[in-house]
Amino acid sequence: MKQLFYVLTVLAALPIHWTKAAESTTGVTEHVPLDLRAKTAKKPYNTARYWQLSVAPENEGDFINLFEKLMPVFQKEVELGQYHWWAMFKAHENELGANYLVSVGSDSIYINNSEPFQKLWRDNIITREEWVQTWSSILDIVKFQGSFVVSLNDYILNDLDEPRWPVDMKKILLTVGYITTAEENEMHMIKMIEDFWCERYQKRFELDGSLIGWNALKVEGNEKAFANANLITTMVQRTDRLPTELQLNEINSSLPKIPNGYFDQLPVKNLNELREFKQVKYDLVLVTDGSKSMKNKFLNEITGTWVHRNKDGSYRKKVMTRNTEQTTFFDKNNAIVEKRDPWPYRVEVIHGQPRFTVYSPNGSTWNAAVNLINGQWFEQHRAKFNGVWTATDPKVYWTYDKED
């Protein structure tokens, strides 16, 4: 039990795959549409872990106060790139039993915590004794109900800088759908999510000002099999913008419907036969500041124009937005050799190390370690091209200087 709670600050992760149009790690396609590459590049995280907890009403105040003491630690770990967020939610009344949920999201698992935690203790954020005592007090008043690790399977597009995020994060409502399917029907449910449900919520995003995000996740492992779900959906909304029942009915009437004959090709007759569905709503109680995460900090700093100069006088210039990279190559006489269209890119944080992936039109990917140090951008020559390491010296870097 203590081990389980210790890793509340750790996230189990699974490999991320490139789009359906280019799943091979060695081959490339003739062309991958920009919108498909852009969606892959904007994937917000790879995995998440959820813990379901029960706390007696008389202990809830102490429970929240104890976790508030730990929030500076969680915040520091977000800034160090160990994960993207740490959040606690309180459940509305539900049949599943647990009244609190803790969520952690990341791109990778961080196995060894000793060095980061020692740094936190050295920085006087919290002493080792305070850390141990606080967790001991939490374990005295909480009952573990189950946990599960999920991989992000599908999601709607939104802008993380978009003003739908409230200033007061306590105005967040999380709705989790727990989906249970028979093993032989899981692939049919996943396909239905990809073919229909994601499109439906993407359309709803346009019509419903309260909707911030919607994700579909696959359960990769669980402990105590909470809700027996093998698929999860999460919907994030603003409580101060929730539509009325009449408005919601109007919105739903405008959304795509399940096509006629959709179930004719499936071994079930309708949605109820395909899956069992339970839903719980949660109010946000505690959360780290995502704007200060390593990933967001890197994206903000990388935006702009960067130049790398070769010894022979030729150079390359990158114009970076938060979503695209446009590279132009020049010879030593400043003549353009090649000017590419903007290509989508993605930043992932793997074990506290930012990695940069570019998605080219022919389906190939370039994934390299990158760092911003003293205003310069360093990109490692040794990288993964289509998932295979290049045979180049890992000590060599392209060095870019930022233009005004």
Write down the pLDDT at residue 206.
92
**Listed residues 289, 320, 343: the one ending a domain:** 289
According to DSSP, the residues that pair with 397 across neighbouring strands are 380
Q: Are residues 137 and 9 in the same domain?
A: yes
**Residue 124: pLDDT band by 50, 70, 90 thresholds?**
confident
- Spatial distance between the Cα atoms of 269 and 98, rounded to a whole number of angstroms: 33
CATH number at residue 391: 2.40.128
Token reading at 200: 């439906």
Write down the pLDDT at residue 11.
31
Q: Are residues 273 and 136 in the same domain?
A: yes
Write down the pLDDT at residue 115.
67
Q: Are residues 188 and 299 in the same domain?
A: no
Write down the pLDDT at residue 390.
93
**Residue 164: pLDDT band by 50, 70, 90 thresholds?**
confident
Write down the pLDDT at residue 9.
38
Spatial CA neighbour of 87 closest among 106, 112, 107: 106
Of residues 355 and 158, which shows the higher confidence score? 355
Write down the pLDDT at residue 7.
39
Q: Are residues 69 and 179 in the same domain?
A: yes
Instruction: Please say if the pLDDT value at position 10 is more than 50.
Output: no
- For range 19-36, the mean pLDDT: 61
**Residue 113: pLDDT band by 50, 70, 90 thresholds?**
low
Instruction: Please say if the pLDDT value at position 379 is more than 80.
Output: yes
Spatial CA neighbour of 49 closest among 152, 138, 184, 123: 152
- In total, how many domains does the chain have? 2
> If you average pLDDT over every residue of the chain, what do you get?
88
Instruction: Please say if the pLDDT value at position 29 is more than 80.
Output: no
Write down the pLDDT at residue 24.
38
Strand duo 211-223 + 276-287: pairing: unpaired
Contacts of 308 (CB under 8 A, 6+ apart): 315, 316, 318, 398, 399, 400, 401
**Residue 158: pLDDT band by 50, 70, 90 thresholds?**
confident
Question: How many other β-carbons are positioned within 10 Å of the β-carbon of residue 117?
Answer: 20
Q: Are residues 89 and 229 in the same domain?
A: yes
Q: Are residues 220 and 321 in the same domain?
A: no
Q: Are residues 315 and 256 in the same domain?
A: no
Instruction: Please say if the pLDDT value at position 304 is more than 60.
Output: yes
Q: Are residues 222 and 347 in the same domain?
A: no
Q: Are residues 280 and 309 in the same domain?
A: no
Q: Are residues 254 and 162 in the same domain?
A: yes
Write down the pLDDT at residue 380.
93
- Do residues 254 and 203 touch, judged by C-beta distance below 8 A? yes
Instruction: Please say if the pLDDT value at position 227 is more than 60.
Output: yes
10 Å CB burial of residue 293 (0-12, 13-18, 19+) is: buried
- Spatial distance between the Cα atoms of 231 and 224, rounded to a whole number of angstroms: 16
Q: Are residues 37 and 126 in the same domain?
A: yes
Write down the pLDDT at residue 161.
55
Among 64-73, 152-161, 347-356, the range scoring the smallest mean pLDDT is 152-161
The dihedral region occupied by 190, where left means phi > 0, alpha psi between -120 and 50, and beta the remainder, is alpha
CATH number at residue 264: 3.30.70.100
Q: What is the dihedral of CA 105, 107, 109, 113, to 10 degrees?
A: -80
Domain carrying residue 353 = 295-403
**Residue 352: pLDDT band by 50, 70, 90 thresholds?**
confident
**Listed residues 289, 305, 325: the one ending a domain:** 289
Contacts of 124 (CB under 8 A, 6+ apart): none
Residues, the chain: 404
Q: Are residues 250 and 200 in the same domain?
A: yes
**Listed residues 274, 289, 304: the one ending a domain:** 289
- For range 192-198, the mean pLDDT: 92
Write down the pLDDT at residue 119.
77
Contacts of 357 (CB under 8 A, 6+ apart): 41, 345, 346, 347, 348, 365, 366, 367
